[in-house]
Amino acid sequence: MLKNKRVTVTGGKGFLGRHLIDKLAGYGCRSIEIADLPEYNLTDPGAIRRMYETTRPDVVIHLAAKVGGIGFNQEKPAELFYDNLIMGAQLMHEAYLHNIDKFVALGTICAYPKFTPVPFREDDIWNGYPEETNAPYGLAKKMMLVQSQAYRRQYGFHSIFLLPVNLYGPGDNFNPRSSHVIPALIKKCFDALDAGSDTLEVWGTGSATREFFYVEDAADAICLAADRYDKSDPVNIGAGFEISIRDLTQLICRLAGFSGKIVWDPSKPDGQPRRMLETSRAAKEFGFTAKTDLATGLAKTIEWYRKNRHPLK
């Protein structure tokens, strides 16, 4: 599917996008274009039309999103809903109007119901309301699944919908206002070491569990799906394991060299109680299984941050 095709990646300057561009280079694409800020504001329909006319893609891989951790979701739920909804709906509609060969939509594990049985199976995605702290974001992204299936049914439009779990890896977002749990914890460790502090404060109780997906594995999964998969059913992509936030925090502290006391703040939310994907559909449909174990991925991420961070003065 990808060989000799013109591919446009929205959000290609971002964390996942940079890794995906590197992976796509091995698929023999005719060209690989990036649609991202500041050249293209993908919440603006006019900018989206200009993007299609300028890059003339055969395949669009839509990674662009407004995203963040629990605090960011609590602070900006309306922006997270509107921006993600508009980007997805307009990009897919214009893709149909421009008669492109394939649209690859990236959803989110936040689209699943709050109390989905673990491991999360794709067939459970409509069996309840998402966890409240990130429901606006999760539902906005899930509308691309509805649109994808509707456009395939009515127009014969070729689009697929992938559900990645929480990503991490070198080049992640370490901004404390919008980062996810792994980069936030890594930064906290190094800030504590810089300050000579012997305590580390972490939100919640540590009892919630999460699955984490190394970014290079995620890029592999997306490329394989774009190249080989063409059905309306959503597909989970992840590593297929779970770890408690408490155990994750202890592991990151050990790998980063912080040996002080971890202080939990139970007044802050834990978020969804458990998250782990059932990933056999990805293996069956396009041959993907994750290769990077958590300790190895964390060590690579910590080493990247150690070399690229700006220490506290």
Catalytic (active-site) positions:
137
Dist CA 283 CA 203 (whole Å): 35
Q: Is the peptide bond before 38 cis (omega within 30 degrees of 0)?
A: yes
* Angular region, 45: left φ>0, alpha ψ -120 to 50, beta rest: alpha
Q: What is the CA radius of gyration of the chain?
A: 19
Residue 118 neighbours by CB under 8 Å, 6+ apart: 209, 242, 274, 275, 276
Tokens of 236: 């989970």
Dist CA 281 CA 91 (whole Å): 26
Amino acid at 122: E
Nearest CA to 9 among 103, 79, 86?
103
* Element at 102 (helix H, strand E): strand 102-106
Instruction: Kindly state the greatest CA–CA separation across the chain.
Output: 62
